[in-house]
Amino acid sequence: MLSPETRMIIKSTAPVLEDHGVAITTRFYSRMFEEHPELLNIFNHANQAQGRQQTALAKTVYAAAVHIDNLEEIMPAVIQIAHKHVSLGVKPEHYPIVGAHLLIAMKEVLGDAATDEIIQAWSDAYGVIADAFISVEKSMYQTTAKQENGWNYFKDFVVARKVKESDVITSFYLKPADGSNVPTYIPGQYISVRVSIPGEKYTMIRQYSLSQASKPDEFRISVKREADNDPNGIVSIYLHKQVNEGDRLEVSAPAGVFVLDASKTTPVAFISGGVGITPMMSMFETVATSTPERPTVFLHGARNRSQHAFDEDIRSFVNRMENASYSTVYSDEENGFITRAMLEEHVDPAGDAYVCGPVPFMVSMIRELRNIGMDDSRIHYEFFGPAMDLEEL
């Protein structure tokens, strides 16, 4: 428990952290990686380069500090981040390293303004926040380990099949190398893939949504090939160009909170842009097979026909369903965007909508869904990358 004095100091200095948060966390990361280069095996270097991760961490520490009296309020955010941490293999012993470097960076950036008393208060507060993460993550690790065919951290998988879905998206069917089955997962969840790319000093980890309904013996991920000059593209290019059927990849157990409530039978809309279609495929296939009578709409925006993945699969699911519709628009063509009018025509605002795609797409879809009268509690979304990028919503 934090003392009342500590709480007061935290609350009164939280705005300073907001102002200098990014400077502090930027400094923090460079210090931490100098002393603990092994952590570069876990962190995404591209996110670091773009400053996205710094912002995410700074904002979370700030939000936690503001709610230090009642951390319950930020529990949904803690749980979402904890899923990511568990998928990456973050361990309790990592927290003191992060904490120590965060405090040193605070002291460096704030200078004399950061008195010993203030630093001590933040050290205590970090301890409380870290304990919340550690305990949530501990119970997640326990649940995953206990699940049938579940495991913690990374396990060897073999690429059983590699299938081109469009000019830019390729699917990888992954089976455990030890011949076991895979755990059941909730549609919408993701796995982490860890690779050692020849010539790269550190391992690289990326999350990919599972792109088919849960199957007993395999996972499927569908990876977009990023541009050659995109720092975030190194893993996707490696997977596309160098990983072939029969090769091994390290995979972590399914995680994530952007999931379909498959028990519902009320109207549902799946709205995706580009490779944001991947979690929708898992959700849509699940609805098509388990509740085919559910009123369902699938709206998708792609650049053009050649970048449009899964068209035939979606059509075959629609054919099996009693009340499903499917429309696609191509942004390379005139008026090729999902508009408010299109949402109005297809989406029942009393149902649920699942949205996934690039940030501008998500921002626009969420705004228009609100405009057609859909309540926030029914709009579910996931953005690929640090979640805080959607703060502007």
Q: Which of 16, 39, 359, 372 touches ligand HEM (CB under 6 A)?
A: 39
Which entry of 18, 29, 72, 95 is annotated as an active-site residue?
95
Question: Per rule CB under 6 A, is residue 95 in the interface with ligand HEM?
Answer: yes
> Which residue in 127, 122, 168 sits closest to 9, CA to CA?
122
Question: Per rule CB under 6 A, is residue 343 in the interface with ligand HEM?
Answer: no
- Cα separation, 343 vs 365, in Å, equals 9
Tokens found for residue 275: 């490779």
Considering the complex, state which of residue 133 and residue 330 has its C-beta at the smaller distance from ligand HEM.
133
Active site residue 202: no
Q: What backbone phi and psi angles, to 5 degrees, belong to 298?
A: -120, 110
Question: Per rule CB under 6 A, is residue 90 in the interface with ligand HEM?
Answer: yes
Least Cβ distance, residue 307 to ligand HEM (angstroms): 25
- Cα separation, 210 vs 277, in Å, equals 11
Question: Per rule CB under 6 A, is residue 21 in the interface with ligand HEM?
Answer: no
Q: Which stretch binds ligand HEM (CB under 6 A): 38-46, 144-152, 227-235, 334-342?
A: 38-46
Query: Which strands, in side-by-side order, build the sheet including 204-209?
Result: 204-209, 190-195, 248-252, 154-164, 169-176, 219-224
Q: Which of 25, 53, 232, 296 touches ligand HEM (CB under 6 A)?
A: 53
Q: Which of 13, 25, 26, 44 touches ligand HEM (CB under 6 A)?
A: 44
Question: Per rule CB under 6 A, is residue 56 in the interface with ligand HEM?
Answer: yes
Work out the angle between the directed axes of helices 116-146 and 75-88 (0-180°, nearest 10).
70
Which entry of 29, 126, 137, 250 is annotated as an active-site residue?
137
Considering the complex, state which of residue 96 and residue 216 has its C-beta at the smaller distance from ligand HEM.
96
DSSP code for 253: P
- Cα separation, 51 vs 27, in Å, equals 11
Question: Per rule CB under 6 A, is residue 43 in the interface with ligand HEM?
Answer: yes
Question: Per rule CB under 6 A, is residue 287 in the interface with ligand HEM?
Answer: no
Residue 222 · residue 281 · CB < 8 Å: yes
Q: Which stretch binds ligand HEM (CB under 6 A): 90-98, 159-167, 254-262, 293-301?
A: 90-98
Question: Per rule CB under 6 A, is residue 356 in the interface with ligand HEM?
Answer: no
# residues near ligand HEM by CB under 6 A: 23
Residue 334 CB: number of other CB atoms within 10 A? 6
Question: Per rule CB under 6 A, is residue 57 in the interface with ligand HEM?
Answer: yes
Q: Which of 98, 106, 260, 369 touches ligand HEM (CB under 6 A)?
A: 98
Active site residue 326: no
Alpha helices in the chain (DSSP H): 4-35, 45-50, 52-66, 75-88, 94-110, 116-146, 234-242, 277-290, 311-320, 340-346, 359-371
- Cα separation, 60 vs 62, in Å, equals 5
Least Cβ distance, residue 380 to ligand HEM (angstroms): 15
Q: How far is C-alpha 393 from the chain's CA centre?
A: 17
User: Active-site residue numbers?
Assistant: 95, 137
Binding residues for ligand HEM (CB under 6 A): 39, 42-44, 47, 53, 56-57, 60-61, 81, 84-85, 88, 90, 94-95, 98, 129-130, 133, 386-387
